[in-house]
Structure 1
């Protein structure tokens, strides 16, 4: 039964051994002259190779010349030259693909434990945030072998540095806009610290890995060179051919079991090894049946590899097919021996043909990727153009600049999420983007530097208000200072922005001074409230006792008693605002008692007013008395105006009887207003007596 080739990783020496019972060799020689450096044994081998090849090449050249003489007709010369040129170009292209595969396998061979290098998912690191990049790096370190993630880590590290530098530039501009000095700028963030720790761990693990690997690689190389030397010695042994062949098989097994070697020695070592294996077969004149059986089994196995390659050539997943093709080339070279000379060129050309088809599909895939990259480039250039367009706009307000800043931040995010661009224009595109953003930032900085001047003026204005607040916060003149404190609070709101670094500090000073003052007022009011409650209780009791007051029949004595009652009432003090109705009750009670003394309204009003004036008079401060005088004059003017209006209204009632209800009402109102006018004039005269 043929081995399963669906997964080439299972197609190893265990499968080959089922088909082979005897001989096993190595791969055909791509470059027999590549020898290991700095080894005397290899130099000796090169001499043997030259002797052997000179014989073979002379025969091949003779055959080629004879073939050319027969096949090449005079009129076909140009056509033949073109065909040869095309063949050379095709061969060169194939050689490049083969070399690429061999270089990749050589890298893989340096560490045989690294078998999953091609299966790690390559994510769109350019669209990730800083935090997402740090998390992805930590995840790779935790789940993958350190030697397998170098390309991933390099990509992640590059993206992180680019995005973090952009963030630093932004923070630096903010710092400078706030009045900071460039030499004092410093910025770090938790995500930066997190990424640095992960990257530091990666470098440590990688160094530890290579330190442990280096010694093993050197020893394995020495072991393989020793095997090559022993292979060379087999040609000169004078012993039974079966014993020699058994020794040969043991050397092959030792070669396979020897661990990885340095990648820069990989191809030379394999080529030298295969060369000496073929030398052994070519000079093995005895027991040709055994050799032919070995060739047959190797041919069968290589045909299976070719068939699998041809199946992969039909697969639509170009990248997956190419990865598996690398494994097939590795098996062809490392695990299989030579075939008969008559088949070598044929099967190798067939294998190369399948390789070319798979590689062509890979190139088509890359071209499709290039189209995506070109589209990403278009998007990024459009984003840069939008930023350039914003740079041409004129903005002269803080609000306008905040809007533009938000737009540029959105465009920056779009740029970073737009995906990769062709590598040949990557640096140029990034430079254009940085230049556009830098131009925007310069314009923004210029605006805010100008704004700084206004902000420092505003700062001085607010400092002046703070001084007023702090100078008056201890004042006891609440009536004068309270309006002042309210005014400076209103003025504070009207003053514009100040530098951000001072904003909180001065606001706290101003607020503290204002709060201190108003807290004192509130504490005074709370104390006064208790006094007012007590005053209300006293007035309530006083009012109750007043109802039982008995006045003498003598009018003057009765008036004097009532004046004394009024003084006592006023001496009790103010009551809470919601209890002031008790003053009205007192006035009604006094009015009733004055009525019993047959005192007219004007005289009664003046009796009550005299007591009010006594409370207003202050030899050191006439402010309250002045306010009262101004108030009375205003009332006199209002009453006179009302009387004039009513008298003018009477002119409209021509030829109307005096008994008409409307006319009578107007006369009544005029009379009432004149009485009020006499009272206000008497009050004004009374006030003038205090000056």
Structure 2
């Protein structure tokens, strides 16, 4: 709005009267230039502002979509930015909560392992990009129009100059001059940086014309008289504005009067030019002085309001930083916070440049307090009783597994029970010791049996290790015959023989890696396709995991393969998008060729990983 832009008008203290007046008028001209340029960019915002912080993510998307579909793109900027702030804040809180749950459920995972895709976020990104593209397109068309208008006005100035320089019959040229002035009035807005220079240039040549208009003094004098009367009426109207009680309204009208004076009314006779301008300038100076006093009062009041609101925010923050351990303490704190909030809302406006920051600080400190309060009432009442129930349930789980002889399946479950026990908080003191003694006895009994059994297994597995060591040594003498089928069958036979030798101790599993290296070398020599060799090696790896009954590593392998598929799909999608953004995206374009070649390579790799996933899924089906 005009009154907001005029807040940037200079303060006149310390200037001599002429300089002071010129500074004020220059500021008015500058504001008129800016208003002229931006009149078609910033529409009047009649759309009611919603409290977006109260809406859910999906509701915010609906609100954003409705604004884009039903309102002018230039009228919704503040609303869109408000939706964006609220959406990103809520989304960030949701992601933090999901990440926290993920890390609690996966203690061995890193924060970077967390992935979470929210459809609402994808929808928001799409809608916001749509808004941004439409707004940028609109601004570009406006700038193009401003440049065209500037070219039109410069053309008018050129025609005017030629008319003044080359006309001998000025009386006959009056009609041409009037046509140029009419074209000037309808030429439209131009870039504000060119506004004063272009107008001064036009006005200079108009005055030259009238100064040379001596052949028909009567016509010239009538035009001068008409212009003088119009400017006198402007001065009369401006003088009435001095007594207007609404200073903002008066100053807005003064800006309009300056624009009409400058752009719509021609020159007056030389003997009146200085006097009539001084009269108008003096009224302008008086109005500016009144407005300046009002602005100083408003600014001082807003500065005081800012100080009060900062003090209230600090008070809320101080209360939030305290620890409250009882219901009564929290109730007293809630009453204090509510009193401070009421004072905050009843305090008037603050400085415009501080308004958004102050509101954000207020929302942040009140939100922090509410989070602490909600956490207290959500957790404290049931925390110890819930913990008691959890630990009793863990004891029952441990009892149900304590006599099991399926150690491979039971041991990870028992270890998880122990880990879960550590993460359960305090229970009522009267149950604490008895629960711990019972739980510890059950766990000790199971793991003592486990260690005895594992010692027996270790002896048997060491025998298997020595057998595999000997077998690996014998493979040094194995040579390929050169016949594809014969050699492939022989390699597969070695793989089967290796499997029959059984499992080895955990600390000796490096021998499996050595065997796989030998296989890799043989496959490299074998005339298999890369894909076929890769699948055979992968199948051998999976079968080894099955033989060793390592369900966790099988699951990890499945997750790894799925991630590789997702990564390759994402890379292919990105490469295909890149092709769309190439301006000359023809098939013979070298860059397009390279990208398409890269896409084909990624697709081949994707197919290989998909076949690996099929093998893993078949294993899972067989297990079921």
Q: TM-score, normalised by structure 1?
A: 0.44
Structure 1 or 2, whichever has the larger Rg, is 1
Structure with the bigger RCO (C-alpha within 8 Å, sep 6+) is 1
